[in-house]
Amino acid sequence: MKTTPLTAAAVFFITCFCAAQETQVKDTPAPKAGKVIARSDGLHGYIGFDADRPPARSECSAGMGFYSAVWPLIDQPLAAFQIGLPSAWITPDNSDNKDKPLAPEGTLARTWPERGPTWASVFQTVEGGLGYWAGNHFRYGPPKFSMNATPQCYDYEVGSPGWSFFYNNEALPDNRLGIAQLSNRLLIPPDALPFQGNPNGQFLGYTWMALPFTEPTTEDPPTGDQSWTCFLSAANFKGPIAYYIPETWSKIGRLFNYPFIYGRGLDARPGNMGGGAMEINTVPRFDAPDAHGVVYSRIPRLQFPVDGQGRTLLVQDVTYYSKAALHDAFKDWRNGGPACSGRFDEKGAWKSTLTTQTTRYDQAGKKITGVERVFDTKVYEGNVWGLEWFDSSISPKGVFPQYFKHAGEERVAVAAADVPAETQLPAQEFKRAGRGVPYTSPTTGAWTQPGPKAGPFTVKLADGSVVTYSWYRFVDQPSFQQYGWSAQKKAKLQAFVEKIHANWPIDRDYMAPPSRGTLVALDPALLVTPPKGLEVGYVPIVTRQTAQ
């Protein structure tokens, strides 16, 4: 017969009762003071905001974007560390479906019953953004920017024109490539985009726009015309960098023989973004007891930019877009109409009102208390979301509490001065991140047939890595080779992209400029110039990234 394990509280009660009855019970020795144990679950939580939507939500679901602050959250590259800076998630709007699964049997997400009955939140997503990820191979201090999407219920992710979201050293299989490189001026390496220098609160703008590069099809699988395109706004680069090919989203229905989800992916459905957050995922910690057996823990120093008014400004200008912002003019241009500037038309823009609430944090599932005495989230004038810092003895302004006292089922934030010296926690050093193994691409298949027109070339980035890239004709890049498109369809797309390259410079404002603050600069080494004769219609595809 199985017995139910005693809870910690029950054990404590029995121990006290026996002691009171003077029963001879052998005490369990307390852990030795200063015995330090390294763990990986130091902090978890979502520091986030909500953004309201227009009354007619479907009218402003063709694009979403904002400006997000860029700063070094940690002062040195750390191993096994993952926190996203303020970013957002976009999912296809399937609000009309109340009870039928969107995740087919056999997908990873379908094994998560808590996401049922529809699994809408894990069916397909566009996410990524700014941050630090445990899978990064080349850490250098500041954060990086990365695209990312989950087209097949988290079976795999697509983070760059060739690779997943840092999960594999080798490029994705040909039939899982999903991003089409669009810019002929910016490299998109698999380890994400680094920045120039050491930014401290400057802003990067990015917007996802659903644009019709191609016509919808009624083939199997039927596919919509929405190519979710990433636009950046930085000090030294502005414009679209890449897009998700519509078939990336539609092919799941055919693969799993599940017609119900035809037309329900991000290729066809309006996008849904309800807010954003800093996702605190993997943070190392040290535990150690004092002379009385009380355990304390320490996490790395997490720092935030603080302006002259004592504020941390993280996100501004959250905007939703209808098709009138760019889609309609873009489609007209594609079909032979007047040239489109690419600027987002204000008549199709809807500025959101933000709200926020106090964040709940935990350490290994145990509730953390006391952080609210150091700072709280706040929406400042002008719909700017950030943090408000208080005068606190626990931690200086701009610094997340580092030390916690274990008190039953809670972890209480305490000042460094209140941590007993015998724990030796202040002297501990967290493991630094090392250099990762190379990202590699195959020498067969989509990468070589039809193959590049020029290269390879190399460039060294600010993160210390060396990137190898070659110039491919736009429709010849690897991501397109899995589809049996007609020569006519490819020729039409190629000709249109050549127009974009000829007419859209990298110093034009596509997004409206930020309401306040200055723009961050991308690593200048990412910026490239097409070789002579390949000025339009060719794109630089990264084929390798290595430490040297």
Whether 400 and 374 have beta carbons less than 8 Å apart is answered as yes
Provide block-wise average pLDDT over 10 residues at a time, the chain (548 residues).
34 33 38 86 95 79 96 94 94 96 98 98 95 95 96 97 94 98 98 97 97 96 98 98 98 97 97 92 96 97 95 96 97 97 96 94 96 96 96 95 97 97 96 94 96 98 97 98 96 98 98 97 98 98 95
Residue 466: CB partners within 8 Å, gap ≥ 6?
Answer: 458, 459, 460, 545, 546, 547, 548
Could you tell me if 85 and 143 are in contact, meaning their C-beta atoms sit under 8 angstroms apart?
yes
How many of the other CB atoms lie within 10 Å of CB of 305?
20
CB 63 within 8 A of CB 326: yes
- The torsion angle over the Cα atoms of residues 76, 77, 81 and 87, rounded to 10 degrees, is 90
Report residue 178 as tokens. 């999903």
**Res 24: pLDDT:** 34
3-state SS record for 375-410: EEEEEECCCEEEEEECCCCCCCCCECCCEEEEECCE
Counting runs of H as helices and runs of E as strands, what totals does the chain give?
Answer: 4, 31
pLDDT confidence of residue 476: 98
Domain ranges of the chain: 45-279+315-351+435-546
DSSP, res 252: H
- H or E stretch including 249? helix 247-255
pLDDT in the model for residue 375: 96
What was the pLDDT predicted at 547? 95
Is the CB of residue 395 less than 8 Å from the CB of residue 298?
A: no
Give the pLDDT of residue 57.
Answer: 62
Closest CA to 241 of 500, 1, 25: 500
At 65, list the tokens: 């974007």
Q: Is the peptide bond before 456 cis (omega within 30 degrees of 0)?
A: yes
Residue 317's closest CA among 126, 51, 510? Answer: 51
Pair 285, 80: CB distance under 8 Å:
no
CB of 296 closer than 8 Å to CB of 47: no
For residue 11, give Cα distances in angstroms to 261, 366, 377: 52, 19, 39
d(CA 422, CA 420): 6
